Amino acid sequence: MDGLPAFENAIETNLRFSESKLGGRRLPVPGIGENLQVRYQFWTHLKYEVIIVREYFALSYYKLKGWI
């Protein structure tokens, strides 16, 4: 029995939003409502960076212990 990948079907909904229409606090930071790259891809790549850093620490630990 085969499974389907998580991204088999594209999302039909528009995920963009306007910060000015939402209201809230006005902070001096760039808006990300229209930028899907920052909102989603950034966090995915951050996860990869955490995994890579963890592996470097593990390799360093193994090297210090003399296992490699």
Look up the pTM and report it.
0.47
> What is the pLDDT tens value at each position of the chain, 68 positions in all?
676 666 656 677 777 777 777 776 777 777 777 777 777 777 788 888 999 999 999 999 999 999 98
The whole-angstrom separation of Cα 39 and Cα 66 is 42
In this prediction, residue 46 carries a pLDDT of 86
- Tell me if 18 sits within 8 A of 33, measured CB to CB: yes
* Distance between CA atoms of residues 4 and 20, nearest Å: 39
pLDDT of residue 9: 64
Q: How far apart are CA 18 and CA 65, in angstroms?
A: 53
CB 19, CB 31: distance < 8 Å = yes
